[in-house]
Structure 1
Amino acid sequence: MSLLAPLMLLGLLGLGLPLLAHLRGREEPKRVRFAGLRFLGASDEVVTQRRRVRDGLLLLLRLALLLLLVLALTRPVSTGDARVAVLGEPHDAVLLLDASFSMNLARDGVSLRSASEDAAAAILEALPPGSRVGLVTTDPGGPRRELGADPERVRAAIAEWVAAAPRAGAWTLESGLPRAVALLRQAGEGQPGAAGRRVVYAIGDFTGRGLASLPPTAAADIPVLPVAASGRLDDPPPVPEHMSLESASWVPAREIDPRAVRISGAVRRHGGAGERGLAVLLRVDGEVAARVEVVAPADGLAAFEFTHIGAGVGPTPASVELAELADDPLPGDEARHLWLTGEDNVEVAIVNGDPSEMRAHDEVYFLATALAASASARRLRIHSLAPDQLAARLRDGDRLADVDVLVLANLRAPAEDIAPALRERVAAGMGLWISVGDRVEAGAYNERLGELLPLLLREPLVVGTAPGRNEAHSEGVAPPDLTHPIFLGLQGELGLLGTRTRRVFLLEPDPSRGAEVALSFTSGAPALISRPFGRGRVALLTTSIDRDWSDLPLRPGFVPLAERVLSWLDTGHPGAAAGQIVAGEPRRIAADGPVTVHTPDGRELVLPPERAGEAVLRDTYLPGHYRVTRGDATPLTFAVQRDPGESDTRNVAPRPPSRDGDQVLAAALHPRWRPLVLLAAALLLAETLLRARRRNQ
């Protein structure tokens, strides 16, 4: 316990005032004349003054009242667990609050989101006089407060935001830095802070997407100071045990029945000790269809599998749920939602641009082998096309309507006359995967398909070479970007560590294209890059999928990589990855007119097309089953899931705060004077009632 205004203790000297008032507050004696007094002679008066305290109970009430008021004015606080580094000079500050789903984790009944309110109060209390403070959250739709000298504005906004149960997306704490910097820049134009210093105080948890995602600076002149929502930066608190559904997917099981599907997945147990039994439920169309018991090891996975017979031709809503987890400290990640259907084949056409009788050098041998061994093999129907066959089909007016995903493997370049038809087919919803190699002509690709490429091609490069040097080196593959939809649900490394690549294709940087890097080389160069194009999607691999440039196809991670890329490129099937999106991810809907979206909570949202042939649903924060009606067109179904990466609450050490200039450490402070004020008000009421009673006696 400490005092923010210790000098107010001088007010205790005022405790003598009630005592003095009670000693001097005697009633004046009344003179009573009677006849016998006239026979007494005059003499000197003997004055006897005796002081004694009158109304002892009333005096005690007044002394206690004055004592409580003085203590309340000293503003006593208790120190919390979190410690924050605060600049010791006046400055402009923005509080950046983590709004992601992982902040719902509760410790001792208090969620990290609620604890962040106390951490923010600690910063506001410790800011030097003359500072200005603003507020943003990682949620783009969260509260935003401009910089101002009154911290109560920010405190009230945070309290209102926490009480309103904010929507929980999958934002990293780092993703909110641009908005914080913009707020500081905007406030600094024309009215800089007293000292011209600017700081971002980022409040979050110890996860890899929380404090560990923060860089040391938000800009060249704006340091980022991490603040733990709960605990201390140098001593993270233990993570309470909780359960989550890691994954759930399905494939047709026609060997059992034409309408049978096999549903499999995994349960993850975070923390704990020993083994724990769990019940997993399969719910089909709202009814419990099956139940299976699994045993989850400490901090590990437990696999499950269901076989369901009865999936019709049309999509049927289904969910996999964990049962009997009412006390889980991170509620909301115990279910995964699916759409089941008896017919869900994905037609994949692979164009081999460099066939060879030697399997190790055949362009598509490893890819075909990987897809045959994948878990989605029963759903995939793979067809091989020669380059001239592809050209012939497109020239004859066949728009590849029966192809869901087209793979161009080391193809020199599509012919100039068929390129427009290929672009139209991708814009209409077909997925396109391009892998490079010795035969690829960058100029021809850029000229004919540049409109849909994630980035324009430059030229191939032998890794590690430089002018004047002949020796070549190899380059590895970095861990995948787990925030990319291709790797939705992946935990940790994909299985590509140790990959060695000798040649890669360089790309032309162009931020305006909106391309996303899913996989990079250790040098930072893109290895797998993607981009939406119209209703379809495009993925570009900047090395080969045979042994000519890389040993990538020999790695154990090549099979899940190929499966994930093809599933993400397929946008037309409810069982595919394209039918599963993360909460908060916009859903693009192919439509020529208004569409109606039926949400899991019973709402009907009417969306007009934002541009020709496409409507966009952005309100996807509620997990569950969504159905889209589009006039006379076939209804569209998709499911929204919690990002499983948000359930990974393992402590990851953040970067230490960057100390620049005069800084002081301020403890997270919890005000304790409010109860004193309430108790003083109660004593004042008691003192009033007691005086009224004495007056009436």
Structure 2
Amino acid sequence: MNFLRPEFLWALPLVALPVVIHLLNRQRYQRVDFSAMEFLRLALKRTRKRLFLEDFLLLLLRTLAVLLLILALAKPGADPGSLLAGRSARAEILLLDASLSMAHRQGGTSAFERALAFGQESLEQLAPERGDRAALIVAGTTAERTAYGDPAEVLSALQEQDQPGNGEAALASALEMALRSADSLAAEGPEEIRISILSDLQLSAWDFEGSEGQAIRRLAEAGHFVQILDTGFRKRQNTAVLELRVDPPELSPGEYGQVRARIRHFGEQARSGLRLSLVVDGVPVHQEVLDLEAGEELDWNHALALADPGPRGLELRLAGDSLPTDDRRCRILPVRPAPRVLLIGEAAAAGEPDGIRESILPFLDLGEGSPVRLEQRLPGRLGSDVLEKVDVVLLADPGPLPPSTLAELATFHSRGGGLFLALGPRTGEADHAEVLEALQVPALAIGPVVRLNDGNAKLAIREAQHPALRLFEDPVWRPLLTEVPFAAFRQIRLPAETPGSLADFQVILDFIQPTGEGAEFGPALVEWEPEGRGRLVAMAASPLPAWNRMVEVPGGTLPLLLDLVAHLTPRPGHPLEVQVGGSLELIWPRAPSEVLLTDPTGTSRHPSSPTALLPGGRAKQRLAETAAIPGAWTAEARLLDPSGEEETLVERIAVVTPAAESDLSPAPTSMVTSLLPEGVSVRRLGEESPDPAAESTAPSGPRDLSGHLYRGVLLLLIAETLLAALLDRRRG
């Protein structure tokens, strides 16, 4: 027997109070003898036994009434599984959907808050003294069992869940965790285990024919009662920014790009007067008002040019609605200054025709305001101090390179620098082999010069979406590249096509016959992009008057060379966009002395994870295990340059919400019921269960024994009153 209020048991000595009062009442009478006393003694002797029994019965009723009153105040409870308890010990497992869609609000509350209220009510019905147990599993971007065991501790953990996350819910993992928790609880004694799944049943999130449905079936097959409660609202209207991008994805200062967005209105009613704002680094640069029909998806665009270089944070904002988190979306737009290019090559001797160096130089050395900052060096005059200050090295058919230059180029490439091999007649096959060996380019070979005596070759585009071919996507400008004749070129030989051999190679242009189709003469432009290193291109179609007429078509040659150089410029060693729940990792050009990470709310902290050194002196660092807040995250690092001076480097990453969470459409209850086993209860919160038999198997609230005791006290007092009245009447 357990008591919820054992302090009242100190009043048990009061049970003797009726006996004490009875004894005191007997002593207050004074004995007086008189002449008829002897006759009364004889009469009393005949009725003593009856009077004693009557008084004893009254005293017993009064004593029991006091005893039961004290026990009732102490709130007694029977041991688990006993007959007095009225039921066996039971357990409650709450699986809480903490995805973004659960933040949808209506009527002053949200689907998540409705789920919390139901969970709190369920846990308050449990009684630890009866052996009841509980568990709370939160399905955010990862599944986590936040509390287990004592219902009071689980209730406390539930009350700490103030709002859902900003990403998807790991529902399948959470259901597997619920199954393991149910097995553990069953081993601890509870015979009845209920699993309550509290979710808005978002159609895009639940796969009842897949992993989630299989996990629910295993729960039901294990003999547990499973109920799925839809805590969402009947009408679910939402407007969201599903995608934000910029074409091209990188800009130069002053260059115009197109900001493109995909906006969708989920709902059965049109929405008019929707305010839209485009914000750059927290400053609004464009505003307009939209009208959206029911279910309409809008492709929105706006031209934008930015003057200041650096990673710029773009954000598209809509006027807030019932799910405000997806009303804004962020994008990082790198605005890069003109790339620094180092051209390595020797001038042609007097009297000789122009070589690759002389042919390329006019396209890159465009004077003040040029999109390229050009510097030149002879092949033997190259040091690490020079390479530290450039982004791309262009080997303009330099001829043989000394070993020291090859070693410097290999270090430059390993730390992310771009390499441009402009192939010509001066550098032989053996010289090219030394360069490729130093750079550790697997199995790529530069062959002999191919001369076409019976005709010319032309270029065919193999990768039309390559960044260096942006101009030629338009059929109007494509002939400026594809109609240029080639009489000679260097042969490029790729590795044999075995599984995985071409994984890092990309053929961008091919040489073909003017009247034929297909790559008749082999690749003209090849890119190699190994993981963790810089990009490298080998170009057999470099401008050279003796071999081709590229110099005579500057309208095609100039944008091709400039876009190739821009493409080879080192990029951040991290993705510019990460989905909510992902980790944030950066690769710094050198090991930083200090890093400060600032989230979209303005909160800053110093990451505690150490940096890992990479080839070329770079350093990799994990800044955050989980990025939970959508928006632009900023990392500011202090580094020492090769001269020992301190510099500050700023990088940014956009953390975005999953677009699928914006569609709030629920899975129809009838469909869910048809896909799940019989006995699994599926209903909307606030509605009666469609299966009364299944509902009756759910655990009911605990029976309070103190109520029975209070009723017993009342009955004893009534019996005592009636008996006392009867005895007084008989005794006159």
TM class, shorter-length: 0.3 to 0.5
Larger radius of gyration: 2
Higher helix share: 2
* Higher relative contact order (CA closer than 8 Å, sequence separation 6+): 1
Report the TM-score, using the length of structure 2 for normalisation: 0.45
